[in-house]
Amino acid sequence: MDIQLLHFLSSIGRIAGIMFVFVYILGPIQVKFRQSTKVRPPMQPYDPATLPPEAASFFYNSVQALVGAGFTVIDYVMKPGAHPLVTPVIVYMVHRTYGDRVAVACFYSTVNGVTTIKNNSIFCQRNFSDGTIVSTTHLPPTGTYGCYKTRPYVTGTRISHTSDAAELYRIHCFAVAKHAGHKTALVPPVGGELEAFEESDADVNNFQVKSGILQLNRTQTAYVPTWFGAYYMTWSLLWPFKQMRAADSRAKCRKLMADYARNVT
Protein backbone atom coordinates (compact mmCIF):
# COMPACT_ATOMS: atom_id res chain seq x y z
CA MET A 1 0.00 0.00 0.00
CA ASP A 2 1.23 3.50 -0.80
CA ILE A 3 3.13 5.10 2.10
CA GLN A 4 1.28 8.40 1.72
CA LEU A 5 -2.04 6.58 1.88
CA LEU A 6 -0.94 4.81 5.06
CA HIS A 7 0.03 8.13 6.63
CA PHE A 8 -3.30 9.61 5.58
CA LEU A 9 -5.28 6.73 7.06
CA SER A 10 -3.19 6.87 10.23
CA SER A 11 -3.91 10.59 10.60
CA ILE A 12 -7.62 10.02 10.07
CA GLY A 13 -7.55 7.28 12.73
CA ARG A 14 -5.82 9.57 15.24
CA ILE A 15 -8.31 12.37 14.59
CA ALA A 16 -11.24 9.97 14.95
CA GLY A 17 -9.79 8.63 18.19
CA ILE A 18 -9.36 12.13 19.62
CA MET A 19 -12.91 13.06 18.65
CA PHE A 20 -14.24 9.87 20.21
CA VAL A 21 -12.48 10.62 23.49
CA PHE A 22 -13.71 14.21 23.60
CA VAL A 23 -17.31 13.46 22.62
CA TYR A 24 -18.00 10.00 24.05
CA ILE A 25 -15.71 9.99 27.11
CA LEU A 26 -15.10 13.59 28.21
CA GLY A 27 -18.51 14.91 27.06
CA PRO A 28 -20.47 12.98 29.71
CA ILE A 29 -18.08 14.24 32.40
CA GLN A 30 -19.08 17.80 31.51
CA VAL A 31 -22.76 16.78 31.62
CA LYS A 32 -22.23 15.19 35.04
CA PHE A 33 -21.03 18.43 36.58
CA ARG A 34 -23.09 20.97 34.62
CA GLN A 35 -26.51 19.38 34.09
CA SER A 36 -29.14 20.31 36.67
CA THR A 37 -32.94 20.45 36.67
CA LYS A 38 -34.84 22.00 39.55
CA VAL A 39 -37.23 19.71 41.41
CA ARG A 40 -39.97 22.31 41.46
CA PRO A 41 -39.10 25.07 39.00
CA PRO A 42 -40.77 28.33 40.01
CA MET A 43 -43.77 29.17 37.87
CA GLN A 44 -44.67 32.75 37.09
CA PRO A 45 -47.84 33.99 35.37
CA TYR A 46 -47.12 34.94 31.79
CA ASP A 47 -48.96 37.36 29.53
CA PRO A 48 -49.18 35.66 26.10
CA ALA A 49 -49.31 39.11 24.50
CA THR A 50 -45.63 39.49 25.37
CA LEU A 51 -44.58 36.31 23.56
CA PRO A 52 -41.87 36.67 20.91
CA PRO A 53 -43.42 36.96 17.44
CA GLU A 54 -41.95 33.59 16.46
CA ALA A 55 -44.12 31.87 19.07
CA ALA A 56 -47.21 34.07 19.23
CA SER A 57 -49.07 32.68 16.21
CA PHE A 58 -48.32 29.07 17.22
CA PHE A 59 -49.69 29.70 20.71
CA TYR A 60 -52.76 31.56 19.49
CA ASN A 61 -53.73 29.01 16.84
CA SER A 62 -53.12 26.04 19.15
CA VAL A 63 -55.14 27.48 22.04
CA GLN A 64 -58.05 28.44 19.80
CA ALA A 65 -58.16 24.98 18.24
CA LEU A 66 -58.08 23.21 21.61
CA VAL A 67 -60.72 25.46 23.15
CA GLY A 68 -62.87 24.53 20.17
CA ALA A 69 -62.26 20.86 21.04
CA GLY A 70 -63.60 21.36 24.57
CA PHE A 71 -60.49 22.35 26.53
CA THR A 72 -60.32 24.95 29.28
CA VAL A 73 -57.28 27.20 29.64
CA ILE A 74 -55.85 26.80 33.14
CA ASP A 75 -52.94 29.23 33.04
CA TYR A 76 -50.10 30.71 31.07
CA VAL A 77 -46.84 30.31 32.96
CA MET A 78 -43.12 30.60 32.47
CA LYS A 79 -40.46 28.64 34.33
CA PRO A 80 -37.42 30.87 34.64
CA GLY A 81 -34.27 29.01 35.53
CA ALA A 82 -35.74 25.56 34.87
CA HIS A 83 -33.00 24.93 32.29
CA PRO A 84 -29.82 26.93 31.78
CA LEU A 85 -30.15 29.60 29.04
CA VAL A 86 -33.61 28.36 27.97
CA THR A 87 -36.97 29.78 29.06
CA PRO A 88 -39.99 27.44 28.83
CA VAL A 89 -43.29 29.29 28.30
CA ILE A 90 -46.32 27.05 28.67
CA VAL A 91 -50.10 27.24 28.48
CA TYR A 92 -51.78 24.47 30.47
CA MET A 93 -55.18 23.21 29.33
CA VAL A 94 -57.52 20.50 30.61
CA HIS A 95 -60.50 18.70 29.08
CA ARG A 96 -62.84 18.43 32.03
CA THR A 97 -64.93 15.69 30.42
CA TYR A 98 -62.24 13.23 29.34
CA GLY A 99 -59.43 14.22 31.67
CA ASP A 100 -56.93 15.01 28.93
CA ARG A 101 -54.10 17.34 29.89
CA VAL A 102 -52.44 19.43 27.22
CA ALA A 103 -49.41 21.66 27.52
CA VAL A 104 -48.62 23.95 24.59
CA ALA A 105 -45.00 24.95 25.07
CA CYS A 106 -42.38 27.17 23.56
CA PHE A 107 -38.75 26.86 24.59
CA TYR A 108 -36.69 29.88 23.64
CA SER A 109 -33.46 31.60 24.54
CA THR A 110 -32.48 35.26 24.38
CA VAL A 111 -28.82 36.07 23.94
CA ASN A 112 -27.58 39.64 23.38
CA GLY A 113 -31.13 40.74 22.71
CA VAL A 114 -31.70 38.11 20.01
CA THR A 115 -34.48 35.57 20.66
CA THR A 116 -34.13 32.08 19.24
CA ILE A 117 -37.03 29.63 19.32
CA LYS A 118 -35.71 26.21 20.29
CA ASN A 119 -38.97 24.42 19.54
CA ASN A 120 -42.74 24.79 19.62
CA SER A 121 -44.37 21.70 21.09
CA ILE A 122 -47.72 20.25 22.14
CA PHE A 123 -47.98 17.55 24.80
CA CYS A 124 -51.25 15.58 25.14
CA GLN A 125 -51.68 13.11 27.99
CA ARG A 126 -54.44 11.05 29.56
CA ASN A 127 -53.79 9.30 32.88
CA PHE A 128 -55.68 6.23 34.07
CA SER A 129 -56.60 4.81 37.45
CA ASP A 130 -54.30 1.80 37.01
CA GLY A 131 -51.26 4.08 36.65
CA THR A 132 -50.89 3.78 32.88
CA ILE A 133 -50.60 6.82 30.63
CA VAL A 134 -51.24 7.48 26.95
CA SER A 135 -49.40 10.46 25.54
CA THR A 136 -49.23 11.98 22.08
CA THR A 137 -46.71 14.71 21.46
CA HIS A 138 -45.92 17.10 18.66
CA LEU A 139 -42.23 17.89 18.48
CA PRO A 140 -40.52 19.39 15.43
CA PRO A 141 -38.69 16.95 13.12
CA THR A 142 -35.36 18.62 13.96
CA GLY A 143 -35.94 18.34 17.70
CA THR A 144 -33.70 16.07 19.71
CA TYR A 145 -34.98 12.67 20.68
CA GLY A 146 -35.26 11.93 24.38
CA CYS A 147 -32.23 10.93 26.39
CA TYR A 148 -34.17 9.54 29.37
CA LYS A 149 -35.23 5.95 29.89
CA THR A 150 -38.73 5.21 28.64
CA ARG A 151 -41.32 4.61 31.34
CA PRO A 152 -42.85 1.15 30.74
CA TYR A 153 -46.32 2.25 31.82
CA VAL A 154 -46.50 5.03 29.21
CA THR A 155 -47.70 4.44 25.66
CA GLY A 156 -46.31 7.43 23.83
CA THR A 157 -46.19 8.56 20.21
CA ARG A 158 -44.17 11.43 18.82
CA ILE A 159 -45.84 13.19 15.89
CA SER A 160 -43.67 15.45 13.74
CA HIS A 161 -45.63 15.84 10.53
CA THR A 162 -48.36 18.13 11.88
CA SER A 163 -48.40 21.00 14.36
CA ASP A 164 -52.18 21.44 14.01
CA ALA A 165 -53.43 21.15 17.59
CA ALA A 166 -56.93 20.00 16.63
CA GLU A 167 -55.59 17.22 14.39
CA LEU A 168 -53.06 16.18 17.01
CA TYR A 169 -55.83 15.88 19.59
CA ARG A 170 -57.92 13.73 17.24
CA ILE A 171 -54.89 11.44 16.80
CA HIS A 172 -54.42 11.40 20.57
CA CYS A 173 -58.06 10.40 21.15
CA PHE A 174 -57.63 7.58 18.62
CA ALA A 175 -54.48 6.40 20.43
CA VAL A 176 -56.37 6.43 23.74
CA ALA A 177 -59.21 4.38 22.28
CA LYS A 178 -56.72 1.95 20.72
CA HIS A 179 -54.54 1.41 23.79
CA ALA A 180 -56.75 2.16 26.78
CA GLY A 181 -60.34 2.46 25.64
CA HIS A 182 -61.63 0.21 28.44
CA LYS A 183 -59.78 1.97 31.28
CA THR A 184 -61.00 4.65 33.70
CA ALA A 185 -59.45 8.05 33.07
CA LEU A 186 -58.38 10.34 35.90
CA VAL A 187 -59.81 13.85 35.60
CA PRO A 188 -57.79 16.54 37.44
CA PRO A 189 -59.99 18.14 40.11
CA VAL A 190 -61.16 21.70 39.60
CA GLY A 191 -58.59 23.92 41.26
CA GLY A 192 -55.99 21.16 41.27
CA GLU A 193 -55.06 21.18 37.59
CA LEU A 194 -51.64 22.77 37.99
CA GLU A 195 -50.78 20.28 40.71
CA ALA A 196 -51.71 17.47 38.31
CA PHE A 197 -49.31 18.87 35.71
CA GLU A 198 -46.56 19.20 38.31
CA GLU A 199 -47.12 15.59 39.38
CA SER A 200 -46.78 14.48 35.76
CA ASP A 201 -43.48 16.35 35.42
CA ALA A 202 -42.24 14.91 38.70
CA ASP A 203 -43.16 11.39 37.59
CA VAL A 204 -40.80 11.67 34.62
CA ASN A 205 -37.86 12.66 36.80
CA ASN A 206 -38.68 10.31 39.66
CA PHE A 207 -38.65 7.35 37.28
CA GLN A 208 -35.19 8.40 36.12
CA VAL A 209 -34.09 8.43 39.77
CA LYS A 210 -35.40 4.89 40.22
CA SER A 211 -33.61 3.86 37.02
CA GLY A 212 -30.28 5.27 38.19
CA ILE A 213 -30.16 8.04 35.59
CA LEU A 214 -30.72 10.96 37.98
CA GLN A 215 -30.28 11.62 41.65
CA LEU A 216 -31.26 14.44 43.97
CA ASN A 217 -28.50 16.83 44.93
CA ARG A 218 -27.51 17.30 48.56
CA THR A 219 -30.10 20.02 49.16
CA GLN A 220 -32.87 17.94 47.53
CA THR A 221 -33.70 20.91 45.28
CA ALA A 222 -32.45 19.68 41.90
CA TYR A 223 -32.08 16.54 39.85
CA VAL A 224 -28.51 15.90 38.69
CA PRO A 225 -27.08 13.04 36.62
CA THR A 226 -25.43 10.04 38.19
CA TRP A 227 -22.19 8.90 36.54
CA PHE A 228 -24.17 6.19 34.76
CA GLY A 229 -26.83 8.74 33.83
CA ALA A 230 -24.33 11.21 32.42
CA TYR A 231 -23.01 8.61 29.99
CA TYR A 232 -26.46 7.16 29.26
CA MET A 233 -27.99 10.56 28.45
CA THR A 234 -25.03 11.78 26.41
CA TRP A 235 -24.67 8.61 24.38
CA SER A 236 -28.44 8.57 23.77
CA LEU A 237 -28.00 11.77 21.78
CA LEU A 238 -25.01 10.51 19.78
CA TRP A 239 -24.57 8.15 16.86
CA PRO A 240 -25.68 5.37 16.62
CA PHE A 241 -27.99 5.46 19.63
CA LYS A 242 -29.81 8.63 18.60
CA GLN A 243 -30.52 7.15 15.19
CA MET A 244 -31.82 3.95 16.79
CA ARG A 245 -34.17 5.88 19.09
CA ALA A 246 -35.34 8.06 16.21
CA ALA A 247 -36.04 5.01 14.05
CA ASP A 248 -38.07 3.41 16.84
CA SER A 249 -40.04 6.64 17.35
CA ARG A 250 -40.78 6.98 13.64
CA ALA A 251 -41.87 3.33 13.43
CA LYS A 252 -44.37 3.85 16.27
CA CYS A 253 -45.70 6.97 14.57
CA ARG A 254 -46.08 5.24 11.19
CA LYS A 255 -47.98 2.35 12.76
CA LEU A 256 -50.35 4.63 14.67
CA MET A 257 -50.96 6.86 11.64
CA ALA A 258 -51.63 3.86 9.39
CA ASP A 259 -54.27 2.61 11.85
CA TYR A 260 -55.66 6.13 12.20
CA ALA A 261 -55.93 6.60 8.42
CA ARG A 262 -57.82 3.31 8.05
CA ASN A 263 -60.32 4.35 10.71
CA VAL A 264 -61.03 7.89 9.48
CA THR A 265 -61.49 7.02 5.80
193-216 residue pLDDT tens: 999 999 999 999 999 999 999 999
What residues pair up with 117 in beta bridges, in sequence order?
108
Give the domain ranges of the chain: 35-264
Tell me, what's the pLDDT at 53? 81
What would the mean pLDDT of 44-68 be, rounded to a whole number?
Answer: 89
Q: For residue range 150-198, what is the model confidence (pLDDT) as tens digits?
A: 999 999 999 998 889 999 999 999 999 999 999 999 999 999 999 999 9
Q: What is the mean pLDDT of residues 39-54?
A: 85
For residue 74, is pLDDT > 60?
Answer: yes
The pTM (predicted TM-score) of the whole model is 0.90
pLDDT on residue 149 = 94
DSSP the chain: --HHHHHHHHHHHHHHHHHHIIIIIIHHHHHHHH--EESS---EE--GGGS-HHHHHHHHHHHHHHHHTT-EEEEEEE-TTSBTTBEEEEEEEE-TTT--EEEEEEEEEEETTEEEEEEEEEEEEEEBTTS-EEEEEE--TTSPPP-SPPPTTEEEEEE-S---HHHHHHHHHHHHHHHHTTSPBPPPPTT-HHHHHHHHHHHHHHHHHHTTSEEE-TTSSEEEE-HHHHHHHHHHTSTTHHHHHHHHHHHHHHHHHHHHHHHH-
The residue with greater pLDDT, 247 or 19, is 247
Q: Does the pLDDT at position 265 exceed 70?
A: no
Whether pLDDT at 253 is above 90: yes
Mean pLDDT of the chain, nearest integer = 90
Instruction: Label residue 84 by pLDDT band (50, 70, 90).
Output: low
